[in-house]
Amino acid sequence: MSLAVETTAALDVRPLAGTLGAEVLGIDLSSPPDATQAEAIRAAMRDHKVIVFRDQTIDRAAQKDLTRVFGPLLRVPFVEPMADDADVIAVLKEADEANVSNFGGAWHSDFSCLEAPPAISVLHALELPPLGGDTLWCDMAAAHEALSPGYRAMLAGLSGNHTGRPYGTKAALKVPNPSRSIKMKRNDPAADLDSVHPVVRLDPETGEKSLYVNPVYTSHLSGLSREESRPILRFLQEHATRPEFTYRHRWRPGDVVCWDNRRTMHLALNDYDGYRRLLHRTTAAGEVPIAAA
């Protein structure tokens, strides 16, 4: 990835960290991106995996227009959307919620338990704590590339089992004491899905190979016991989240951040008890993962 500012016909794109993350300037998202802008936004996403638009004044319709630049809107299982808008989730933790687990507080790639997991997610920051509440992303393609040739060869034939079961009809929530502000849909059979995905996934657009396992949904490696899988999955998580593969976003009201779930994991920090944090979240559909072998 080049660290130079890239000026396309439509937009300025300024990298924010060593391997992923870029700020996109020169666009007002309150009206739908035109075809040239949409292509420039998709190009920035291909190149940087996480893209940041600052100082945007947008409503939910405009957020959905931006999300559709990447693909059709996707409604996701087991998290209640807003009562008056089934395409939008309010990611909220109230000021009076202390010692609760937050939404997205462990490294994950969104809903990887689905057969065709989301491609892109979009967050728009509305109310933020005066400090804390940052979000981190890690670059799963850079992490894959940094493995030794022998380890990459060992992973090439492997698949991972991903499950949403802890959130579905059998739901004993994995996390203790969840925030009451995120409404989890209980008894949702759509969350009981198990999917098998390649451990190394090919991005057909960039040709990049990315690790595609995460500690929230990947229960074990196919054909291996959980005990046998654990050291490999633990190593991959520790390796992928090394600081040099990460971008940490310090939110400002009006920020809009879009990320590629196929080539990243992310984590929302929960270090702001006593303050309200509210973001709107939308999702673009993705494809069934393709093995990189």
Of 262, 263, 266, 277, catalytic: 266
Looking at the Cβ atoms of 78 and 103, the one nearer to ligand SIN is 103
Looking at the Cβ atoms of 122 and 232, the one nearer to ligand SIN is 122
Annotation marks residue 110 as catalytic: yes
By CB under 6 A, residue 104 contacts ligand SIN: yes
Looking at the Cβ atoms of 245 and 259, the one nearer to ligand SIN is 259
DSSP for the chain? ---S-EE-SS-EEEE-SSSS-EEEES--TTS---HHHHHHHHHHHHHHSEEEE-S----HHHHHHHHHTTSSB-PPSSB--BTTBTT-EEEEE-TT--S-BPTT-S-B-TTTTSSS--SEEEEEEEE--SS---EEEEEHHHHHHTS-HHHHHHHHT-EEEEE-GGGSTT---SSSSB-TTSPB-SS-GGGG-EEEEESEEE-TTT--EEE---TTTEEEETTS-HHHHHHHHHHHHHHHT-GGGEEEE---TT-EEEEETTSEEEEE----TTS-EEEEEEEE--PPPEE--
By CB under 6 A, residue 167 contacts ligand SIN: no
- Closest separation in Å from C-beta 31 to ligand SIN: 25
- Please give the Cα distance from 9 to 109 (Å, whole number): 32
Annotation marks residue 220 as catalytic: no
Query: What is the pairing mode between strands 200-202 and 290-291?
Result: antiparallel
* Contact present, 30 and 62 (Cβ < 8 Å): yes
- Closest separation in Å from C-beta 44 to ligand SIN: 20
Annotation marks residue 266 as catalytic: yes
Residues of this chain, 133-162, that bind ligand SIN according to CB under 6 A: 135
Annotation marks residue 108 as catalytic: yes
24, 27, 91, 92: which one contacts ligand SIN (CB under 6 A)? 91
By CB under 6 A, residue 256 contacts ligand SIN: no
By CB under 6 A, residue 103 contacts ligand SIN: yes
- Closest separation in Å from C-beta 108 to ligand SIN: 7
By CB under 6 A, residue 268 contacts ligand SIN: yes
By CB under 6 A, residue 164 contacts ligand SIN: no
Q: How many residues bind ligand SIN (CB under 6 A)?
A: 8
The two structure tokens encoding residue 277 = 């944090």
Looking at the Cβ atoms of 191 and 268, the one nearer to ligand SIN is 268
- Closest separation in Å from C-beta 71 to ligand SIN: 17
- Closest separation in Å from C-beta 255 to ligand SIN: 11
- Closest separation in Å from C-beta 7 to ligand SIN: 29
- Please give the Cα distance from 276 to 274 (Å, whole number): 7
Of 48, 65, 108, 260, catalytic: 108
Query: Active-site positions?
Result: 108, 110, 266, 281
Q: Report the interface residues with ligand SIN, using CB under 6 A.
A: 91, 103-104, 135, 266, 268, 279, 281
